[in-house]
Amino acid sequence: MTRVKRSQNARQRRKKKFTIVQGFRGASSILYKTANQQFCKALNNAFIDRRLRKREYRNLWICRMNAKVRQLGLNYHSFLYKNTFSQKLNRKIFSQLTIQDPCLFCSYAQ
């Protein structure tokens, strides 16, 4: 069996990972084994957080709408049930209306 020299390929592969983990703290940006582990962990957390971000934004929109609707003397559920059949506006748009144009939002609540 012939001998395989891997120095160039291995160095390029490691260098690519080191450029990605450049800003990590401690040994995570210096030692290859820990850098590789942190790189995998960072990719996994990014995958999870992309899904969590959607949940958090929806929760924020609901909280904003609920606060505004309660000022008008209704509750969130009855407001949403009343408006889902008449207009096709989603929670994000209603939430933006509470901040940018409260008068228009009040007209939807009536």
Check if CATH label 1.10.1900.20 holds for domain 7-109.
yes
Tens digit of each residue's pLDDT (9 = 90 or more) over 77-105:
888 888 765 567 788 988 998 999 888 88
Residue 25: phi, psi to the nearest 5? -90, 150
Give DSSP secondary structure letters for 41-95: HHHHHHHHHHHHHHHHHHHHHHHHHHHHHHHTT--HHHHHHHHHHH----HHHHH
Tens digit of each residue's pLDDT (9 = 90 or more) over 32-74:
999 999 999 999 999 999 999 999 999 999 999 999 999 989 8
Q: Where are the domains of the chain?
A: 7-109
